[in-house]
């Protein structure tokens, strides 16, 4: 189940377990001591190892769930073409896998905390791996108070048993989190259900095509998925990489969460990680050039910090706000300020802010210590109608600038495609209105 370890290249994951090579992949930077000879990421690494080892133990169960889906897919392809219920079963297995892995990660940091203090408190465990412990413990007030999550039942020694109730609770606390609170996947723009979803979509498409071969000139049989029930988002699935097998033509599907059913297309995006609907070869080449700064193109790639970039004005507004925030706290502009600016720029575009007038930290409350969250505000702070968005301050200052810029580019592409689709829809509706109803006989 576990044969060894290998380097991890995914910047959006703390660690991964690959059932194909039965190896745990870890970021090399997490294994290096700091300048003082201390391992500053020891808590995080301890949690990740506990988490990924549990994945290796669960892998036979996960493989069984995937095989069951394939068995059901044969019947579905020959009958209803609706893969929703079968997909739910695989995703439920994925959810249980992640939930039990989280419990194992928690127990690992509890064990590590006990090596320092035989009777650790919740605070000891939380501070040992604070970035990971937030799904288990709530920190509130000032000075901070540490409280177990209400839906979890801890043992007297602070460990967690993988009971059905605790596994379900961690499914809620971890697997079910929104995209904004998860940020995994190819561009850091995915939640867990859409992280696992491409396998469901790609496998269903392969079986659907195998058992329903279309004749030349005839449309393909679409597969059916209740996208809302499954929690799927087409653009996120395609950004994560959908593998349609050897037949890479776009796969038609019908979304049964709407009435009438909404038609859609899944692109083969295993290598491109692009959401396009549909796309020409020329458009694909243009998008790939935009994603690869080393590839030849008509002009050099611009970053938001460059005056010619479309988001430069918004970047400068946020940069000025971060500089003021630094000055208020007696800090000089540094790399963390630059990372925060890039993080907040991606957040602003994602939340639809057209300008940023203020960058502020939260005041201490009963639930949050002061400065745990950073806000960007469009409008006056005293205006009840102002627009704002927020994220965890720690995430804002730690996310690499390049990662935020990549996320920004993906957001801009998605928004541009949505505008184009809306324009096409409006033009089509206008044409239908002008032409009037057609006559048949």
DSSP secondary structure string for all residues of 375-434:
EEEES-TT-TT-EEEEEEHHHHHHS-HHHHHHHHHHHHHHHHHHHHHHHHHHHHHHHHHH
Q: Which residues of 400-422 are buried (b: 16+ CB within 10 A; e: fewer)?
A: ebebbbbbbbbbebbeebeeeee
In 3D space, the residue among 164, 131, 189, 100 whose CA is nearest the CA of residue 408 turns out to be: 189
Q: Judging by DSSP bridges, how do beta strands 16-18 and 23-26 pair with one another?
A: antiparallel
Cα separation, 169 vs 366, whole angstroms: 24
Q: Which helix (H) or strand (E) holds 16?
A: strand 16-18
Contacts of 298 (CB under 8 A, 6+ apart): none
Lowest mean pLDDT, pick from 11-15, 31-35, 354-358, 392-396: 31-35
Question: What pLDDT digit, counting tens, does each position of 192-241 carry?
Answer: 999 999 999 999 999 999 999 887 777 888 999 999 999 999 999 999 99
* pLDDT tens for each residue of 30-82: 667 666 666 557 888 899 999 999 999 999 999 999 999 999 999 999 999 99
Q: How far is CA 45 from CA 8, 130, 266, 410, in A?
A: 13, 12, 37, 29
Residue pair 233/267 in contact by the 8 Å Cβ criterion? no
- Kindly state the tokens that stand for 12: 């959006």
State whether the Cα torsion 237-241-244-247 is positive or negative.
Answer: positive
d(C-alpha 393, C-alpha 54), whole Å: 30
pLDDT band with cut points at 50, 70 and 90 for residue 281:
very low
Cα–Cα distance, 308 to 330 (Å, whole number): 32
Q: What is the pLDDT of residue 8?
A: 77
Q: For residues 93 and 103, what is the distance between their CA atoms, to the nearest angstrom?
A: 15
Residues with Cβ within 8 Å of 20's Cβ and at least 6 positions away in sequence, in order, are none
Of 23-27, 45-49, 169-173, 391-395, give the range with the top mean pLDDT: 169-173
Question: Tens digits of per-residue pLDDT, 387-435?
Answer: 999 998 888 887 878 888 889 999 988 888 877 777 766 665 555 444 4
**Edge to edge, what strands does the sheet with 251-255 contain?**
223-225, 251-255, 262-266
Q: What is the dihedral of CA 298, 304, 310, 313, to 10 degrees?
A: -150
Report pTM: 0.64
């Amino acid at each position: 189940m576990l044969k060894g370890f290998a380097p991890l290249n995914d910047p959006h994951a703390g660690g991964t377990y690959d059932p194909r090579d039965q190896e745990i992949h870890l970021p090399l930077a997490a294994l290096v001591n700091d300048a003082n000879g201390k391992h500053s990421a020891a808590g995080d690494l301890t949690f990740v190892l506990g988490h990924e080892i549990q994945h290796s133990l669960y892998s036979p169960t996960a493989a069984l769930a995937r095989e069951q889906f394939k068995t059901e897919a044969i019947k579905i392809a020959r009958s209803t073409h609706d893969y929703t219920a079968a997909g739910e079963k695989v995703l439920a297995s994925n959810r249980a896998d992640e939930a039990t892995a989280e419990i194992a990660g928690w127990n690992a940091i509890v064990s590590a905390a006990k090596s320092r203090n035989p009777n650790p408190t919740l605070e000891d465990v939380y501070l040992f791996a604070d970035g990971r412990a937030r799904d288990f413990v709530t920190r509130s007030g000032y000075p901070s108070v540490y409280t177990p999550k209400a839906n979890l039942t801890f043992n007297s020694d602070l460990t967690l048993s993988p009971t059905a109730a605790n596994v379900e609770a961690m499914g809620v606390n971890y697997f079910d989190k929104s995209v904004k609170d998860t940020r995994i996947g190819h561009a850091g723009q995915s939640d867990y259900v859409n992280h696992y979803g491409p396998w469901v979509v790609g496998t269903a498409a392969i079986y659907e095509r195998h058992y329903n071969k279309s004749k030349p000139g005839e449309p393909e049989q679409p597969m059916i998925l209740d996208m809302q029930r499954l929690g799927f988002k087409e653009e996120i699935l395609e950004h994560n990489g959908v593998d349609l097998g050897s037949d890479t033509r776009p796969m038609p599907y019908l979304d049964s969460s709407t009435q009438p059913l909404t038609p859609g297309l899944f692109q083969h995006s295993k290598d491109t990680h692009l959401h396009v609907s549909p796309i020409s070869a020329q458009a694909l080449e243009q998008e790939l050039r935009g994603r690869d700064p080393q590839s030849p193109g008509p002009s050099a790639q611009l970053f938001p910090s460059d005056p010619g970039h479309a988001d430069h004005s918004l970047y400068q507004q946020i940069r000025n706000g971060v500089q003021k925030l630094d000055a208020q706290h007696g800090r000089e502009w540094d790399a963390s300020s630059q990372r925060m600016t890039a993080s907040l720029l991606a957040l602003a575009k994602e939340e639809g802010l057209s300008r940023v007038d203020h960058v502020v930290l939260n005041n201490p409350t009963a639930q949050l210590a002061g400065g745990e969250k950073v806000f960007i505000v469009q409008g006056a702070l005293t205006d009840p109608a102002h627009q704002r968005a927020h994220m965890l301050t720690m995430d804002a200052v730690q996310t690499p600038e390049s990662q935020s810029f990549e996320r920004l580019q993906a957001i801009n592409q998605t928004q541009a495609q949505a505008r184009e689709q809306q324009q096409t829809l409006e033009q089509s509706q206008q044409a239908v209105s002008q032409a009037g109803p057609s006559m048949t006989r």
